[in-house]
Amino acid sequence: MTLQDPKLKKIAYYPGCALEGTGHAYNRSTKALGGALGLELDEVKNWNCCGAMEVKNVDPKVQTYLSSRVMSIAANEMGHNVVMAPCNGCYHNLKKAEYDLTNDQGSRDVVERISSKAGHKTYQPGQVETIHALDWVKRAIGEEDLAKRVKNSLKGVKVANYYGCMYTRPRHIFPEKDKGAGTESTSKPHFMDDLLAAAGAENVDFALKTACCGGAHTLSDSDTSTKLVVNIIKAAEASGAEVIATECPTCHSGLEMHQIRAEKKFGYKSKAKIVYFTQLLGMALGLSGRAVGLHENVSDSIGFLKARGLG
């Protein structure tokens, strides 16, 4: 099959630190999905931390530099013009760096200075386009072709799609969104809904798809985070969802951990399964549960999905 956007046949892949740790299942399933779709991921050589939340909040310009280094390697040392970051935090930070470098001379000066000290070419805004894993599948394959490739339909699986915060906020760093038909919406994102529906899933009407989960406060103020996550899970279940699909390792592990903590701390037990969208799509394309890392999730969805003929 031909690709919708041939530019995406082989792109730079920036997994980021979470995908080497708690989000390993996301790393595994993203690569497996790419393989099943005939898309190549070229991992950024010697990549570094994007600056995450910690560096960004201490010194945003140093975060801009860290993210720019990843983009510089992809562009100047590997010859890519697209970088795909499946983690919302990495995706957000690369986008923020792009915005800052385009609009702020102070950021450009700092990045120039540190890049020169570090001995690599300074990233110039516009050298690469940063995309999320959702953009990657949606733009490279599209719903129509994806539906044709489905071997095990997700039919009957009721899914609430949870996008979290950093995929759409703050809006000004995502200039390509909210541009009308075919583009992503920052207020009601739908790319994950579109892709899973193409694979046969039944998406439920879920009002808290970008609601705060208190993720950044998960250690300093765990009870607030647990209560926010419980409300997200409750809302998903009240909408009829059996599965909460995720597209961010922080959201995913936050939902899984607080689901367990909620039972221990507040006696709230929920049945919702927390599964990465890449795992669901991979299984729809015929991959095994192991190939997409179901066994690496904390939330045990193996039996549930097996009963649906998946994995």
Q: Which of 232, 236, 239, 224 is nearest to 255 (CA)?
A: 232
**187 interacts with other proteins by CB under 8 A:** yes
| Piece in contact with other proteins (CB under 8 A), picked from 8-16, 151-159, 203-211, 278-286 | 203-211
289 in contact with other proteins (CB under 8 A): no
Length of the chain: 311
- Concatenate the DSSP letters of all residues of 54-107 into one string: HHHHH-HHHHHHHHHHHHHIIIIIT--SEEE--SHHHHHHHHHHHHHHHH-HHH
- Give the one residue of 20, 40, 46, 57 binding other proteins; rule: CB under 8 A: 57
SS (H, E, C) 224-259: HHHHHHHHHHHHHHHCCCCEEEECCHHHHHHHHHHH
Interface mask (CB under 8 A) for other proteins, residues 245-284, using x and -? ----------------------------------------
DSSP string, 100-158: HHHH-HHHHHHHHHHHHHHTSPPP-TTSSEEE-HHHHHHHHTHHHHHHHH-SS--TT-E
Q: Which is nearer to other proteins, 238 or 300 (CB)?
A: 238
Among 101, 159, 160, 232, binds other proteins (CB under 8 A): 232
Looking at beta carbons only, is 196 or 228 nearer to other proteins? 228
Please, which residue, 58 or 260, has the CB nearer to other proteins?
58
Q: Is 15 in the site for other proteins (CB under 8 A)?
A: no
In 3D space, the residue among 131, 107, 105, 207 whose CA is nearest the CA of residue 163 turns out to be: 207
Residues 6+ apart with CB under 8 A from 42: 10, 11, 12, 13, 78, 80
Q: Does 212 bind other proteins (CB under 8 A)?
A: yes
Binding mask 141-170 for other proteins (x = CB under 8 A): ------------------------xx--xx
Nearest distance, CB of residue 122 and other proteins, angstroms: 15
**Piece of the chain touching other proteins by CB under 8 A; list 13-21, 60-68, 154-162, 283-291:** 60-68
The footprint of other proteins on residues 25-54 (CB under 8 A) is: 53
The three-point CA angle 245-254-228 to 5° equals 95
Q: What token pair was written down for 225?
A: 């985070």
Q: Is 17 in the site for other proteins (CB under 8 A)?
A: no
> Nearest-CA neighbor of 136 among 236, 249, 38, 45?
38
Q: Is 132 a residue that touches other proteins (CB under 8 A)?
A: no
Q: Is 210 in the site for other proteins (CB under 8 A)?
A: yes
Kindly indicate which of the ranges 20-28, 190-198, 223-231, 278-286 contains the residues binding other proteins, using the contact rule CB under 8 A: 223-231
Interaction of residue 302 with other proteins, rule CB under 8 A:
no
What's the closest the beta carbon of residue 216 comes to other proteins, in angstroms?
A: 4
According to CB under 8 A, which one of 7, 21, 238, 290 is a site residue for other proteins?
Answer: 238
The structure tokens listed for 9 are 């046949």
| Peptide bond between residue 170 and the one before it cis (omega within 30 degrees of 0) | yes
Rounded to an integer, what distance in angstroms lies between the CA atom of residue 127 and that of residue 274?
36
d(Cα 272, Cα 299) in Å, to the nearest integer? 9
Binding site for other proteins (CB under 8 A): 53, 56-62, 89, 92, 96, 106, 109-110, 165-166, 169-170, 187, 205, 207-208, 210-212, 214-217, 220-221, 224, 227-228, 231-232, 234-235, 238-239
